[in-house]
Amino acid sequence: AQRVTQPEKLLSVFKGAPVELKCNYSYSGSPELFWYVQYSRQRLQLLLRHISRESIKGFTADLNKGETSFHLKKPFAQEEDSAMYYCALSGLRADKLIFGTGTRLQVFP
Amino acid sequence: EPEVTQTPSHQVTQMGQEVILRCVPISNHLYFYWYRQILGQKVEFLVSFYNNEISEKSEIFDDQFSVERPDGSNFTLKIRSTKLEDSAMYFCASSLGTVYNSPLHFGNGTRLTVT
């Protein structure tokens, strides 16, 4: 079965603290993994994807095939990072994203 | 920066009525999608559309649902006979290439309330 699991509904940290948003997946083929973000009153948008191996707004995510995980990390959280974060996956020949349930990140000053 | 636009932002309809949700994708995009999010639940894929035909659809997208790109700019989702459980936020998205290769650009969504 194709599934994305985000175990935390809410993650609260103070500004400057490290952040790790967890994502585990189940997929039979070779998935591509993504993190999408939705800031308050804004639309859902792509934050980063595994294949790009880039850091966006200080966030990184490493695909661990052994643990089937794609956790999102940032060493020092900022207040503007407060948002809803969705992990998602797609297969090479699939034309759809499978989303997790999302984690709300709250960064307190 | 070009955006995906959706109208209306909120639609209220009675059970059994037909409803059409409208979307204007980004003009040079080739792939179009509908997703929905029932309150408190995850974003779920409904359908993808490319080259004037459905390329993939989910189990949710049954005979009550249809999509059209009638005039080369609009992309519509029709629900023929709405049910209470169709109440959700419906998101349209478009992309230049496939999901695997291109980011999806989402609209702000249409909140559908079925009473």
* pLDDT single digits (tens) A16-28: 999 999 999 999 8
Does B32 map to a domain?
A: yes
Domain boundaries, chain A: 3-104
Beta-carbon separation of A96 and B108 below 8 A: no
Report chain A residues whose CB lies below 8 A from the CB of B91: 44
| Domain, as residue range, for B99 | 16-106
**Closest partner CB to A94 (pick from B4, B42, B56):** B56
Of the pLDDT bands very low, low, confident and very high (cuts 50, 70, 90), residue B40 is: confident
Residues in a beta bridge with B92: B34
Number of domains in chain B: 1
DSSP character at residue B84: G
Backbone angles phi, psi at A4, to 5 degrees: -125, 130
Q: Cα(B80)–Cα(B107) distance, rounded to whole angstroms?
A: 22
Q: Cα(A57)–Cα(B81) distance, rounded to whole angstroms?
A: 44
**Chain centroid to CA B97: how far?**
18
**A90-109 per-position pLDDT tens digit:** 987 778 999 999 999 999 99
Q: What is the CATH number of the domain that holds B28?
A: 2.60.40.10
Structure tokens at B94: 């478009």
| Count, residues in chain A | 109
Above 90 in pLDDT, residue A69?
yes
Of the pLDDT bands very low, low, confident and very high (cuts 50, 70, 90), residue B23 is: very high
Backbone angles phi, psi at B93, to 5 degrees: -145, 155
Does B111 map to a domain?
A: no
Does B74 map to a domain?
A: yes
| Count, residues in chain B | 115
Does B7 map to a domain?
A: no
CATH of A3-104, one of 2.60.40.10, 3.40.50.10490, 2.40.10.120, 3.40.50.1820: 2.60.40.10
**B82-107 per-position pLDDT tens digit:** 999 999 999 999 999 988 888 999 99
Does B113 map to a domain?
A: no
Backbone angles phi, psi at A81, to 5 degrees: -80, -10
Beta-carbon separation of A96 and B99 below 8 A: yes
3-state secondary structure of B7: strand
pLDDT of residue A92: 75
Assess B91–A contact: CB distance below 8 Å, yes or no.
Answer: yes
